[in-house]
A and B are shown apart, each in its own frame.
Chain A
Amino acid sequence: MKDANESKSYTIVIKLGSSSLVDEKTKEPKLAIMSLIVETVVKLRRMGHKVIIVSSGGIAVGLRTMRMNKRPKHLAEVQAIAAIGQGRLIGRWDLLFSQFDQRIAQILLTRNDILDWTQYKNAQNTINELLNMGVIPIVNENDTLSVREIKFGDNDTLSAITSALIHADYLFLLTDVDCLYTDNPRTNPDAMPILVVPDLSKGLPGVNTAGGSGSDVGTGGMETKLVAADLATNAGVHTLIMKSDTPANIGRIVEYMQTLELDDENKVKQAYNGDLTDLQKREFEKLKALNVPLHTKFIANDNKHHLKNREFWILHGLVSKGAVVIDQGAYAALTRKNKAGLLPAGVIDVQGTFHELECVDIKVGKKLPDGTLDPDFPLQTVGKARCNYTSSELTKIKGLHSDQIEEELGYNDSEYVAHRENLAFPPR
């Protein structure tokens, strides 16, 4: 089995923050680290893996180019600087990778580019085509054009969405600490390293993430990395946090992964009883014995519990425009395995304004005897849906049987408020 494992080829996404690429104070490029990353990526490629880089830094490079000390506050100025920097940064990557005769490709995304299912799949096809060609895609947010309402928010989230988009095996989040700790090791000498997290959905008992890492150049902190890890593991992608100034360690960690038995990670996951501390000690001993660099590994959900492509797109690729409140009975029916669709009879209330097939939250509420929403019952968001009806239409047909839709609206687009393929719930 060891030989078979060693020949495994992975799809790996490497996310680099601004602080990996640009010096925080001088804003000069960190060419040495960039070169180390290039060498690491080339080596991974030669090992048979496919690699994607998610690289921020356009704004930082633009600041340096324009000799500006601080990031401006005016949006048009920030975006202008991003436009200057992104062209220069991709040129830098191209120059470095060319030394190894390796081609790269530039992918600039806004959330607009994946709002439509056809476009989501188109982006997926394009990146997969690049990987098949042996090209290294370098993905960034199209900062020049993103207005607040369509921003991904941070590049950690973008890297998680990219990983899910292409069904990556691993997402490496490079940062300025070597792993997650129970507390900030700079201020608390008793902070312990967190090396393996079998189930992020159970939380991180004993871990203080409020004082995360941060830097002037990058706005990402540990919190965004945990959000990214949650997104990625739900989509079946193992996520690792490690130090950015020794990128060569990626290769060593990947080699270590290849030595693991196929079910090792699932065994750790199944054996996990919520005692995070004991697990860290055992993992620490293992890494130490094998001389593997420090890192935090968030184990992905197994096939049974990970989000399929379209489910991920509905949950994380779209922007929610409102909410549909359903009762517990309807929710139970939706989450059974008989692939139920959502019927208007299950709808108690409609919130916000939305068009048909726009994304809305699904919330569970309680119905009063007269059929209206019980305002005292706390609403719980349980998933998302793309409805066949607009908010105003749904307001009219809520609580009705499907055969009453025609009578109420004058037309009947569907007996379902949402088909099964347009419903998505986080893994349970």
Chain B
Amino acid sequence: MTKAYTIVIKLGSSSLVDESTKEPKLSIMTLIVETVTNLKRMGHKVIIVSSGGIAVGLDALNIPHKPKQLSEVQAIAAVGQGRLIARWNMLFSQYGEQTAQILLTRNDILRWNQYNNARNTINELLAMGVIPIVNENDTLSISEIEFGDNDTLSAITAALVGADFLFLLTDVDCLYTDNPRTNPDARPIVLVPELSEGLPGVNTSSGSGSEVGTGGMRTKLIAADLASNAGIETIVMKSDRPEYVPKIVDYIQHHFRPPRHIGNGTQQQFLDLQDTELEQLRRYDVPMHTKFLANDNKHKLKNREFWILHGLITKGAIIIDENSYDKLLSKDMASLTPNAVIEVRDNFHELECVDLKIGQRLPNGELDISKPIQSVGCVRSNYTSLELAKIKGLPSEKIHDVLGYSVSEYVAHRENIAFPPQF
């Protein structure tokens, strides 16, 4: 029985536009179109996250270099994004496939109902057999509401729709222990069971990059971390061979066996694991790629948890004590009460997202600033920063006395608290 997957394929600018001439790489785009068509015929659902609007706009306007002024860059993106979607549409039409254009800013997912709305729309498109092509709405994004890079956008998109796989296509065939262009001893990394443990023996500071795309390997690792936390397998592979995607999917479906032990292990164990997996790839004639395994169901973020942790913008912080944190982690679905709060930082409104941090209390109830403070999650508080500063450390029944009203006995309900997966 062949399983049907939801697959997100992320393409960088360098996949679509020649770095020097800024001309479109029509052959690669066409290969991608054929690949996506094949995946659909295999029964899978496919979403493309495609940057390149700016690069296409530069070509359309005969501008040699990306300008520095924001409004100029955004104007160019506005020219390019219309042309790029038209190109996709024209190519996919040759195979009888329909595309849909989804342009997102972070504003579009800041509210839970908008996040759900975007998910419903994309899922509706997939149900119709349409291929959604997602991009950041670059024309309108100012720095404070940018996703930052399309790798992050692709991870958020994958989590939004509950995808099974996220393919990050780039200009190297996989992650290496070092830059293979400068270090001939660099070894391929083909399997990462647990990205949150770090990558022993791997130098990621000198990532790949190009003038057209600003993404590097570091953003791919961030995207892989986001995606695996949401239960999505992430694959990094070369962009000029998109037809490898179905071969890799087939391999994972029929031949791949997860490693028996948990985690990455020591550096030697990690490198041994690479050799073992590399041998498997050779045996089944599978192209080179790096596979980041998803967290299992027990440790994966639910939709709403993911939205709180990664869909929202953090506006401040609430510092609580260790005991309260332990209670929140326990399975009795504890909520956060004001007596747990030691300190409040920066300004935020009710139900805006804030960092949750652990600190230590002095005997007088104040924060011990000599002790390190650790971020452990995110919270949407029922009270503003000003209100919370007044009721911190108090029992819930005192809220009304201090504020003159009581919105809730809780600072945050459990459904508005999210932690990264615990191991």
A113→B75 contact, CB < 8 A: no
* List of A residues within 8 angstroms of B145 by Cβ: 119
Q: Which residues of A contact B329 (CB under 8 A)?
A: none
Write out, one digit per residue, whether chain A residues 106-132 have a CB within 8 A of any chain B CB (1) or not (0). 111110110000110011011111100
Tell me if A104 and B140 are in contact (CB < 8 A).
Answer: no
Complex Cα gap A95–B118 (Å):
29
Does B222 belong to the interface (CB within 8 Å)?
Answer: no
With A83-B102, A93-B82, A113-B140 given, is the CB distance from A103 to B107 under 8 Å?
no
Closest partner residue, chain A, to B349 (CB atom): A355
Q: Mark A95-107, 1 if CB is under 8 A from B, else 0.
A: 1000000011111
Residues of chain B with a CB closer than 8 A to A93's CB: 82
0 or 1 for each of B96-118: is its CB under 8 Å from A? (1 = yes): 00111111110110000110011
- Residue B333 at the A interface, CB < 8 A? no
Q: Given A135-B61, A147-B117 in contact, is the A80-B100 Cβ separation under 8 Å?
A: yes
State whether A84 and B82 are in contact (beta carbons under 8 Å apart), knowing that A91-B89, A145-B114 are contacts in the complex. no
- A100–B117 Cα distance when bound, in Å, is 39
A66 to B120, CA, bound (A): 18
CB of A87 within 8 A of CB of B86, answer yes
**Could you tell me if A126 and B100 are in contact, using CB atoms closer than 8 angstroms?**
no
In the bound complex, do residue B128 and residue A66 qualify as a contact, i.e. CB atoms below 8 Å apart?
yes
CB distance from A329 to the nearest CB of B (A): 29
B107 touches A84 (CB 8 A): no
In the complex, whether B416 has a CB less than 8 A from a CB of chain A is no
Assembly CA distance A91 to B90 (angstroms): 9
Docked complex Cα distance between A104 and B86 (Å): 12
Q: Which of B129-137, B179-187, B194-202, B288-296 contacts A (4 or more CB under 8 A)?
A: B129-137
A125 contacts across to B, CB distance below 8 A: 70-71, 74
Query: Which residues of chain B come closer than 8 Å to A126, judged between CB atoms?
Result: 71, 74-75, 78, 139-140
What residues on A are CB-neighbors of B133 within 8 Å? 87
Nearest-neighbour CB distance to chain B for A405, whole angstroms, equals 14
Closest CB-CB distance, A124 to chain B, in whole Å?
Answer: 9
Cα distance, A88 to B125, chains bound together (Å):
15
Whether a CB of chain A sits under 8 angstroms from the CB of B384 is: yes
| A138 sits at the interface (CB 8 A) | yes
Alpha-carbon distance A88/B88, docked complex (angstroms):
10
Partner of B82, one of A66, A110, A138, A145: A138
Q: Is A90 an interface residue (CB 8 A)?
A: yes
Bound Cα distance from A286 to B405, whole angstroms: 67
Contact of A107 among B78, B90, B132 (CB under 8 A): B78
Instruction: Decide if A157 is an interface residue (CB 8 Å cutoff).
Output: no
With an 8 A cutoff between CB atoms, is A415 at the interface?
Answer: no
Q: Is the CB of B86 within 8 A of A91?
A: yes
**Bound form: Cα–Cα A88–B386 in Å:** 49
A142 touching B85, Cβ below 8 Å: no
Known: A103-B60, A110-B107, A125-B71. A147 touches B82 (CB 8 A): no
A76 touches B (CB below 8 Å):
yes
Chain B 207-228: CB-based contact to A (< 8 A → 1; otherwise 0): 0000000000000000000000
User: Interface digits, A314-343 against B, CB 8 Å rule (1 contact, 0 not)?
Assistant: 000000000000000000000000000000
**Chain A contacts for B335, CB-based, 8 A:** none
B366 at the interface (CB under 8 A from A): no
- Verify if B4 is at the interface (C-beta below 8 Å from A): no
Q: Is the CB of B102 within 8 A of A94?
A: no
Q: Is the interface of A mostly helix, strand, loop or mixed?
A: helix
B118 near A145 (CB under 8 angstroms)?
Answer: yes
Q: Find out whether the CB atom of B79 lies under 8 angstroms from the CB atom of A87.
A: no
| Nearest opposing residue in chain A for B138, CB measure | A126
Given contacts A119-B142, A126-B71, contact A135 B108 (CB under 8 A): no
Question: Residue among A95, A130, A138 with the most chain B CB within 10 A?
Answer: A130
CB of B123 within 8 Å of the partner chain: yes
B64 smallest CB distance to A (angstroms): 15
Interface membership of B121, Cβ < 8 A: yes
- Max chain A CB contacts within 10 Å: which of B98, B103, B123, B140? B140
Across-interface contacts of B368 in A (CB, < 8 A): none
Q: From residue A351, how far is it (CB to closest CB) to chain B in Å?
A: 17
In the bound complex, residues from chain B placing their C-beta under 8 Å from that of A123 are 140
A87-B85, A91-B86, A126-B139 known; A104 vs B79 contact (CB < 8 Å): yes
Q: Which chain A residues border B75 with CB–CB below 8 Å?
A: 105, 126-127, 129-130, 133, 135
A135–B75 CA distance with the chains assembled, in angstroms: 9
Q: Does B234 contact A (CB under 8 A)?
A: no
Which B residues, 57 to 77, have Cβ-Cβ distances below 8 Å to chain A? 57, 60-61, 70-72, 74-75
Across the interface, which residues of A come within 8 angstroms of B132, CB to CB? 83
Q: How far is the CB of B85 from chain A (nearest CB, A)?
A: 4
Any chain B CB within 8 A of the CB of A414?
A: no
Does A223 belong to the interface (CB within 8 Å)?
A: no
B299 at interface by CB-CB < 8 Å: no
Q: In whole angstroms, how far apart are the Cα atoms of A104 and B114 in the complex?
A: 29
Task: Output the nearest chain B residue to A95 by Cβ-Cβ distance.
Answer: B86
A159 CB-CB contact with B under 8 Å: no
Residues of B within 8 A of A118 (CB): 142
Could you tell me the distance in whole angstroms from the C-beta of A264 to the nearest C-beta in chain B? 35
CB pair A76–B120 under 8 Å, yes or no, is yes
Contacts of A110 in B (CB 8 A): 107-108
Which listed residue, B72, B82, B140, touches A109 by the CB 8 Å rule? B140
**B61 lies within 8 A of A128 (CB):** no
- Our pick among B107, B123, B384, B405 for the contact of A113 (Cβ within 8 Å) is B107
Q: Which B residues lie within 8 Å of A84 (CB)?
A: 98-100, 125, 130
Flag A122-164 by CB within 8 Å of B: 1 or 0 each.
Answer: 1101111110010101100010110100100000000000000
Which residues of A in the span 69-88 have a Cβ within 8 Å of any Cβ on B? Answer: 74-77, 79-80, 83-84, 86-88
- Alpha-carbon distance A23/B364, docked complex (angstroms): 75
Interface centre among A66, A80, A128, A129 (most CB of B within 10 A): A80
In the assembled complex, the Cα of A90 lies from the Cα of B118 at a distance in Å of: 21
Considering only CB atoms, which chain A residue lies closest to B81 in the complex?
A106
Query: Is residue B124 within 8 Å, beta carbon to beta carbon, of the partner chain?
Result: yes
Nearest CB of chain B from residue A88's CB, rounded to whole Å:
6
Point out the residues of chain A lying under 8 angstroms from B114, CB to CB: 145, 147, 150
Extra inter-chain contacts (18) besides given A94-B86, A106-B82, CB under 8 Å: A83-B121, A90-B85, A105-B139, A106-B81, A106-B139, A108-B103, A110-B108, A113-B137, A118-B142, A126-B75, A129-B71, A142-B103, A144-B100, A144-B103, A145-B117, A145-B118, A147-B117, A150-B114
Q: Which 6 A-B pairs have the closest CB atoms?
A: A91-B86, A106-B82, A105-B78, A87-B101, A83-B100, A125-B71
- The interface of chain B, by Cβ under 8 A from chain A, is 57, 60-61, 70-72, 74-75, 78-79, 81-83, 85-86, 88-90, 98-105, 107-108, 113-114, 117-118, 120-125, 128, 130, 132-133, 137, 139-140, 142, 145, 349, 384, 386, 405
Show 29 residue pairs from A and B whose CB-CB distance is below 8 angstroms, ordered by the A residue.
Answer: A66-B130, A76-B117, A76-B123, A80-B100, A83-B121, A84-B98, A87-B89, A90-B101, A93-B82, A103-B61, A104-B79, A104-B82, A105-B57, A106-B81, A106-B139, A107-B78, A112-B107, A113-B107, A113-B140, A118-B142, A122-B74, A126-B71, A126-B78, A129-B74, A130-B78, A135-B79, A145-B114, A147-B117, A392-B405
